[in-house]
Structure 1
Amino acid sequence: MFVSRAYVPESLRPDDHRSWPYTVPAVAEVVERGVEFTHPVTFLVGDNGSGKSTLVEAIAEGFKLDARGGRAARRTGSADTTRTPLGEVLRLETTARGGRMLAGPRLKKKGFFLRAETAFSMTENLGGVPGYWAENTAEMSHGEGFLAVFRSMFRDPGFYVMDEPESALSFTACLQLVALMHDLGESGAQVVCATHSPILASTPGADIIEVGEHGLRRVKWADLGLVDHWRRFLDNPTSYLRYLTEE
C-alpha cells in the first residue's frame, strides 16, 4: 500500500464550517478525524451528494495526480489551478513505499485518477498519446473505451483513484473491472474508488466505507443500504415504481 490515512492538519482546518464542502457530513468527519486506509482496495459507497466524489478528488490531488483526471500532475500548465477546496487542505500519511514514490521523479510515479467529469473526454482524446493507451478509444463505445483505459493504465503496482468508473459499464463489464481491481490489490497496488455500484463494491477482500448523512462508517457488503435497495427493487419493482407512476 501507498497511503495509510487522509486528514486535514489542525492548522489548515477552516474557521467557518458553514460553507461547502465542510457542510457535507462525510467531509466534516474527515476534517475532524481523518480516514484510515487498511486494505489494498477501498470503496467509498454512497448516494449522489454524499461527498464521496469530493473525497476521492482531494485524495487524488494529495498524491499529486492530475486534478483534472489522468496521471501525475504536470509541472507546468493548469493542473495546479484546478485544486478543489478540500484538496487544498487535505494531506496524506504515506507508507514507506508511498513516500519513496512521491519523492521520486514525476515519470516514475505509478498512479492514475479517473475523474467522473472528464472521463469521457479522456477516452476520446488520449488514445495513442505516449504514456497512455494505444487503442483509438474514440472509435469505441464508451464502455469499451473505459475498459481499454483500465487495462492500459491500471497495471503496475501504484496508487489508483477512481470516481464512479461504472458510469459507462454494463453488468458484464463491471464484473471485468471487479476482477481487475482484485488483481491490482493482490499485486501490491492500492485502489480508492467512489461508487454507487453494488457490483464493484463486492470486490473480494475490499474495505467498504459507507458515506452518507451519518458521515463515514465501515460496513460489510451485505449490510450496505445500497445493496438492500437493489435487492428489494429487483425482487419487487412495483413496490418502488408505483410511487412514481400512480396519479
Structure 2
Amino acid sequence: MHDVKLPGAPDGEQALELPDHLVRYYWWAYLRPASIRIFDRDVIVSAILWGQYRRLCDLALEGILPGSRVLQMACVYGDLSSRLAQRLGCKGRLDIVDIAPIQVHHARTKLAAAPWARSFVGDAAEPGPDRYDSVLSFFLLHELPDAHKHRVVDAALAQLRPGGRAIFIDYARPAPLHPLKPVMAGVFALLEPFARTMWHTGIRSLATQSEHYESSNRDRFCRKGLQNRSRLDDAINKAPLIRSFFDSA
C-alpha cells in the first residue's frame, strides 16, 4: 500500500493501493510531479503519437453529445479532457477515474473551470454504480497487463446505459512493412511491456460478454493501422433494426 496524500481531495477520500505494473513500469510517466510538468503538453503528447494526437482526440469526441454523461477511464495528458468537458457543457457530466492520486489532483486543477467535470481516485477495472452515455478509454489498455485489459473493458461495458457507447483508442496491428513498426517494437520493448498485445488482440476479444454488443471495426494510422479507435455500442434492449458500431480509426 502506497500512502499518498492527495491535495485538495474531499474529506474521506482515500488513496488505493497502486498496482505493481504502474509502480514498476510507469512511475517515470505518471507518479512524479516532474513527469506532469514534462509530459502534460500537447506538443509532447503529439510527438509521442507521431503527430496524430489532435486527430485522435477529434475521433474520440466524435459522437459524444452535449449534455450527456461520460466516464473517462484514467487521466490523460494534453487537452483532451478539457475539450471533452467543454463539449459536454454545464448540462452534461464528466467523471474521470484514476488510481493515482497525483493524477487526480492534477486533473482537478486543469478542469477547475468546469464544475460539471469530476475527477476521483478509483480503479477503472472496478465498475461503479453510475451509468453513462459514453465511456472513453484513451491509450490506457496498452499500459495494462493482459488480465487487467479484460477487466477494464468489461468494466467499461458494464457502466453503459442501454444504447450507450464505449470508445477505446489505442495501438493496433501495424501493416507488415510499415516503416514505424520496428521503431514502435523497440519502444514497446524498452518502455511499454504490455503494449505489444494490442498488435494481435482485437478489443472485442477482450470483452467477456461481447455477444451482447454489436460492433464494426476500422484501423488507421497514416493509412497503415498503427493506432486504433474502437467503439462498442450497447445493443441490449435495442430494436433489431437499430445498428450500433464499433469503429476504429
> Which protein is richer in helix relative to its size?
1
Give your verdict on TM over 0.5: no
The higher radius of gyration belongs to 1
Higher relative contact order (CA 8 A, sep 6+): 1
Q: Please give the range of the TM-score, normalised by the shorter of the 2 chains.
A: 0.3 to 0.5
> TM (normalized to structure 1)?
0.35
> TM (normalized to structure 2)?
0.35
